[in-house]
Amino acid sequence: MRMKTSRFGTFYLSLFFVILYLPVLSVILYSFNASPSTAQWTGFTLDWYRTLFEDRVIAASFRISMEVAVITSIVSAILGTASAVVAMRSTAGMKRAIQGVMILPLLIPEVALGIALLIFFNLLNLPFGHFTLVASHSLFCVPYVYIMVQLRLKEIDRSILESARDLGATRWQATRTIILPLVTPSIITASLLALAMSLDDVIISTYMSGPRTTTLPVHIFSMMRVGVTPKVNALCTLILVGMFFVVGLSQLFTKKRHKEDL
């Protein structure tokens, strides 16, 4: 009886993963398909990757995406960490207020957020481009950094900070020499997450992109209008590999962090 349940469990789980990952696998597979149609497999080729790298528009939008993502992750790392540190030092009421403000962007539907930002930036007469993209991406990335850093701060024993003060450190010195080194792994993990989220955001980026600043996901979306070409498959495969790399890197930092704990 027991055996049967466990066998069913294994089967169920396998099915689950197959259904989940089959489409992803097919994207990778078809990126190497010689035929431009997804209907049949006619042979192995790297042609799609070659045309991909020759495509200037894709290269340009990739560059924009990367620039926006890197700046976004830096901005949200700074803002998120600062808010978490301030929240830690605040009274209970203030802490709750900061928490609320931080979580809010995650609760607002992205479509609504996008439209709101569009109207807002339009009103301010700001040109849509790098700035609007970074500002809007930071809006939904800061909360993730805040949450992750705040979780780490909670783990830090309060008496460590007290002993730093006791030994002669000013508030700022204690923050710089004790808190920041202890939360750095969390900050790095969180900013890699922010990088990943900024890189694959479509909805808000659609609203925020300027005429010459289309991000990669927005461009892919527009390419889809003329049908899925194997070039898109090739591009998605590369993005997938890139993301795995980023996530793997962040895992590495999480591991290192646990080693240091007493």
As measured in angstroms, the least distance from the Cβ of 154 to another protein is: 15
Amino acid code (one letter) for 15: L
**Residue 81 C-beta: closest distance to another protein, Å:** 16
> Is the Cβ of residue 51 or residue 184 nearer to another protein in the bound state?
184
What are phi and psi for residue 212, nearest 5 degrees? -110, 10
Through-space distance between the first and last CA atoms of the chain, rounded to whole angstroms: 44
State whether residue 213 is helix, strand or coil.
Answer: strand
CA angle, 74 then 162 then 170, to 5°: 65
Q: Which CB sits closer to another protein, 137 or 257? A: 257
208 within 8 A of 128, measured Cβ to Cβ: yes
CB of 92 to another protein, least distance (A): 13
For another protein, the closer CB: 164 or 190: 164
- Shortest spacing between CB 144 and another protein, in angstroms: 24
234 vs 34, 133, 224, 227, CA distance in Å? 12, 25, 13, 14
Nearer to another protein, 164 or 196 (CB): 164
Shortest approach of another protein to residue 167 CB, angstroms? 4
Q: Which residues sit at the interface with another protein, rule CB under 8 A? A: 157, 159-160, 162-170, 173, 177-178, 181-182, 260-262
Q: Whose Cβ is closer to another protein: residue 37's or residue 177's?
A: 177
Beta partners for residue 213, in sequence order: 210
Question: What token pair was written down for 70?
Answer: 């890197």
